[in-house]
Amino acid sequence: MTDQPFRFCPRCGTALVEGMPYCPKCGFNLDDLSRPAVRPSEDETTWPSDDRREAPGPRRSTAPLIGAALIVAVGLIGYALLTRPAPAAQQGGVPGQAPGPAASLAPGVTTGPSAPIVGLTIQSPRDGDVVSTEEVTVIGLAPPGLRITRDVSLFPDQHATVDSTGHWAIAVRLGQGDNTLVFRIGDDRSTEQRIRVSYTPPAG
């Protein structure tokens, strides 16, 4: 080297000797400063070794998803069991037939459909009752749709039609004292029912 580009060592700062390509103290090669920097090609690019690569992050656990799915499945099964219809035996019905109406007697106790009404029955007033009103309403039971007749002497008979629930009612005007009231189904005298009702006016 004829031309010394540096007077001092760029590494340690020691004064350089003219014509000497090395630092007399640290031995730094001055020729390295004049060489162009060589960039590695793409193929020569070094990559971190396997042991220096970033470790993959922790995998997400599927346990919470499986647990949530099991909870939903158990809830659906429980709902289906609670809402399913009761067996025919518990409903008081017959398999293949619609259950009939049932009257609740007590919690958890029911009866089947009521028996059909047969014949004529007087519910009110009762035989031997004493009333203080001149007119009473006689109420009774009979098969729905039939005609009830009250037998009246010397006057036209009274009539009423049994409703769909089997009830009938006839208003009767009483005479003071004992009154014998006679009722039957239509003209069938074998169905007659008699009651005695006494009318006592209230003391004036």
24-83: pLDDT as tens digits:
888 888 777 766 655 555 555 454 444 445 445 555 667 778 888 889 888 888 888 878
- Give me the residue spans of the domains in the chain: 1-37, 121-199
Query: Which residues, in sequence order, are CB contacts of 40 under 8 Å at separation 6+?
Result: 46
pLDDT of the chain, 204 residues: tens digit per residue = 445 566 788 888 788 878 788 788 888 887 777 666 555 555 554 544 444 454 455 556 677 788 888 898 888 888 888 787 655 444 444 444 444 444 444 454 444 446 788 889 999 999 999 999 999 999 999 999 999 999 998 889 999 999 999 999 999 999 999 999 999 999 999 999 999 999 999 886
Distances (CA, A) of 133 to 31, 42, 151: 143, 122, 21
Which tokens go with 195?
């009651």
- Which CATH number describes the domain made up of 121-199? 2.60.40.650
